[in-house]
Structure 1
Amino acid sequence: TGIQFMVLNSVYQLLAMRTAEHPALAKTDKLVMMADLFAYFLCGRVVSEYTLASTTQLMDMRTGQWSRAMFEGLDLPMRVMPAVVKPGTIIGSLTPRVAAEIGCERIPVVAVGTHDTASAVAAVPASPGRWAYLSSGTWSLMGVEIPQAIIDDKTFEHEFTNEGGVEGTIRLLKNIMGLWLIQECKRQWQRGGHDLSYAEIADMARKAAPFAAYIDVDDRRFLAPGDMTPRINEHLMRTGQTPITDKGQIVRVVMESLALKYRSVMERIEDVVGHRVDVLHIVGGGIQNELLCQFTANALGKKVITGPIEATAAGNILMQARAVGQIGSLEELRAIVRNSFELKEYTPQDAAAWTKHYKKHTP
């Protein structure tokens, strides 16, 4: 399928229902993803929008259609899958009832890039050139925009995913840990009576010693909610490092390790696409952590441009404008984003020290 193996992919939920002989599956006429369900409520038409459908692991990303081999191989009912529509398609108009209820005309209902990262990548304010994106929040998604899926031994080995994008593009990306570790540390400290703001936490990390330790932020033991600092210290002890008690030091280690993970993924992206990436665009709520943004520039040795925070909402709105002819192209859409939001640029610092730490801890 060209999609990264992840436990949250829809294929496993559907297979579990079939294996358990769940009665709902036998009664199902159409399987509708959540975003498409809202479109159905608005206009009455059942469709499966391409970018969201692509993440189910039930699609052949070479064709952009449901994979008959997957459905037949797993004995799943392909009849329940709606027709796939591309983002930017006008799929109908508001039903008379909905239009009357909200007091407007029967305006068009547009299938946008309904996967949130698809809309976020649409709103990356990039100029033409060799750029990559990082959608930063609780989780991180790093990748490049390419014209067609790359499904080969390298992408399989690196656990990359080929997800659908807007305007006929593919989002070749890797799912990475994000700010989840820091969020869980903050909640743990709050439960213990230390209610620290993110600004305070970042300031504590800024003052902590650099390169005190390293963790693999993608270790599966970090995925579950709950007390995070004991798990971080268990990881440190397992890897022959010294446990940390200072809150600021813990956060700094997490941020530095996350930035180094970004470098590792970036190197693999460049290996797959066969060229160097010149600039990384970071969008999403994570850009408010300016220390992490600077660390990312340092670790990558590349220019980093951040903004907008609400890239998903911007991409959604602008694809609606594209669908009704108010915007002529994806390039024009991105120029609107560049001219509408405040962006910030970070240049690499202390490159030699970051490279030394990277080579010490990354195979």
Structure 2
Amino acid sequence: MLHAAIDLGGSSGRVTVGELVNEKIVLTELHRFKHEPIQSNDGLFWDWQFILDQIKIGLNKACEMGQVETLGVDSWAVDYGLLDAKGELLAPPHCYRDGRTDGVMAKLKNELGVDYIYGKTGIQFIFFNTMYQLFVEKNSSIYGRADKFLMVPDLINYLLCGSISTEITNASTTQLLNVHTQDWDWELIEKLGIKKSLFAKINKPGEQVGQVVGHGKLDSIKVISVGSHDTASAVAGAPLGEDGLTAYISSGTWSLVGLELTKPVTDKKAMEFNITNEMGVADRIRFIKNVAGMWLLEESLDYWASKGEHYTAAELAKAAAELPKAAVIDANDPIFEKPGAMPERIAMLCEKSNQIVPQSPAAYARCIFDSLADAYVKVLAQLQSAAGVKINAINIVGGGSANRLLNQLTADATGVPVYAGPSEATVLGSILVQMQSVGLINSLAQGRSIIKNSITQVVFTPKK
């Protein structure tokens, strides 16, 4: 039996199938595609129909391989679509980097109080959170006709099987879920003036939400609610121990640096550190902070390409490894929040802090990697202080785990060993949950043991 994972990132997507063979999960990637948001007069939107078409191409390829028993969808956080009373999508989902929420976070923090919002939701304050998007949505032309709002993976589930519900890991990123009750925070929603009727019932990873219907040979595939926030699936797919002493970094466009806890921490220290408490698979808490991640390098590559200079991330990482450590900037500076000319912004911060401006793309890459490692150290210190734990290892997962230079810099900077891999943690986490839903795997711990048996991790020890 095959299990299909639809994994959507902010710039690409893929469809992969997995099966359990000799106590190992064997993956086959069937379809990968790039996508990017489209700017219109009404704002920045995802290329929604293209994304849906690519998903169906991948799922049809999966069916050609054999019988697909289940599928699961994960994506980036915070973005959503609005359905009318007839179940029609009113508009493509906005991209979280749209400027429509500018200034809204500061306004609501001032009106409702930081303590009030954080104490209920435990969520990091970021300008694009769903809370701020829905608040400004009230002024849109489609809000009056909206009957339900669904996060991106839930919207895809709905379009495949007709089920309307919201999976909890992505719901927790909205800043509208009460992290203590694990339900929508109706009091907060009321204070924001958002229609309560928009909110669908909550489901958890492992629940079957329906079967595909109306899509030809895809029909009857079981649609399983997985950790629909991609980081939730990535953490589930990281072979962490049960002692909670291994930190994780989900390294991609964003670097999500975190600890796995059994209970949320929403006290003043956690709030002041702006740490997020997001729900995870098996009722775990993802105690996380966002770091800019490969976004800085991806945008830099686009910048150089626009000037006729074409490089790959792998090429620059290899060249950067031959260079000494030089300038280190704040990778989380707000100047990096929006797309654009990252090298110019890095140069500006270097000049501002009286550091030497990088003189080549490789030097910029080295600056980015050193700056990310420095950010990891600071964030991990905050996480450990707030949670009252001391880590003894770091597991880096996701595409960024293949960056040997950054892995070594992270080990050197933090002083603890770094375990790199699996690079496909998100897909593995999705398939783990799907397999558990049909009885092939008994628990998250057993699934992680199988994942550890399925991969080869590279260990980076700190250099003196």
Say yes or no: does 1:14 pair with 2:129: no
Q: Given the alignment, which residue of 177, 181, 201 partners 2:292?
A: 177
Conserved in 2, the CA contact under 8 Å of 1:124 and 1:311?
yes
In structure 2, distance between residues paired with 1:8 and 1:146: 25
In structure 2, distance between residues paired with 1:92 and 1:181: 39
Conserved in 1, the CA contact under 8 Å of 2:258 and 2:286?
yes
SS for the counterpart of 1:250 is: helix
Q: Which has the higher strand share?
A: 2
Query: Higher relative contact order by CA 8 Å / sep ≥ 6: 1 or 2?
Result: 1
Deviation at 1:189, TM superposition (A): 2.6
2:324 maps to what in 1? 209
Cα 1:103–1:157 change in 2 (3 A) is closer
Cα 1:342–1:69 change in 2 (3 A) is same
Q: Given the alignment, which residue of 307, 321, 331 partners 2:445?
A: 331
Identity of aligned residues (%): 39
Q: Which moved more, 1:220-229 or 1:26-35?
A: 220-229
Deviation at 1:246, TM superposition (A): 3.1
Q: Report 1:1-363 matches (<5 A).
A: 1-18=121-138, 20=139, 22-95=140-213, 97-98=214-215, 101-102=216-217, 106-129=220-243, 130-210=245-325, 212-350=326-464
- Paired residue type of 1:255: F
SS for the counterpart of 2:223 is: strand
Conserved in 2, the CA contact under 8 Å of 1:136 and 1:284?
yes
In structure 2, distance between residues paired with 1:37 and 1:178: 27
Conserved in 1, the CA contact under 8 Å of 2:297 and 2:313?
no
SS for the counterpart of 1:207 is: coil
Cα 1:94–1:247 change in 2 (3 A) is closer
In structure 2, distance between residues paired with 1:284 and 1:17: 33
In structure 2, distance between residues paired with 1:79 and 1:155: 32
Q: Which moved more, 1:61-70 or 1:200-209?
A: 200-209
Cα 1:84–1:238 change in 2 (3 A) is same
- Paired residue type of 2:400: G
Conserved in 2, the CA contact under 8 Å of 1:149 and 1:172?
yes
In structure 2, distance between residues paired with 1:279 and 1:187: 34
2:32 maps to what in 1? none
2:78 maps to what in 1? none
- Give the structure-2-normalised TM-score: 0.71
- Which whole-Å deviations, capped at 9, do the CAs of 1:144-188 have from their partners, x for residues lacking one? 111121111111111110111011111110011101222222223
Conserved in 1, the CA contact under 8 Å of 2:265 and 2:277?
yes
Runs of 5+ consecutive residues of structure 2 not aligned to the other structure:
1-120
Conserved in 1, the CA contact under 8 Å of 2:402 and 2:420?
no
2:3 maps to what in 1? none
In structure 1, distance between residues paired with 2:381 and 2:225: 34
Q: Which has the higher helix share?
A: 1
Deviation at 1:6, TM superposition (A): 1.1
Conserved in 1, the CA contact under 8 Å of 2:327 and 2:357?
no
- Which whole-Å deviations, capped at 9, do the CAs of 1:41-75 have from their partners, x for residues lacking one? 22222101101111111111111100012111111
Deviation at 1:266, TM superposition (A): 0.6
- Paired residue type of 2:198: V
- Which whole-Å deviations, capped at 9, do the CAs of 1:80-134 have from their partners, x for residues lacking one? 1000011111122333x33xx1166x24221111111011110001233311110
Conserved in 2, the CA contact under 8 Å of 1:207 and 1:248?
no
- Paired residue type of 1:67: D
Deviation at 1:326, TM superposition (A): 1.0
2:42 maps to what in 1? none
- Which whole-Å deviations, capped at 9, do the CAs of 1:248-280 have from their partners, x for residues lacking one? 222212211110110111111110111211111
In structure 1, distance between residues paired with 2:218 and 2:280: 33
- Paired residue type of 1:183: E
In structure 1, distance between residues paired with 2:277 and 2:358: 38
In structure 2, distance between residues paired with 1:23 and 1:349: 58
SS for the counterpart of 1:173 is: strand
Conserved in 2, the CA contact under 8 Å of 1:204 and 1:247?
no
How many equivalent residue pairs?
343
SS for the counterpart of 1:260 is: helix
Q: Which moved more, 1:239-248 or 1:124-133?
A: 239-248
In structure 1, distance between residues paired with 2:383 and 2:319: 33
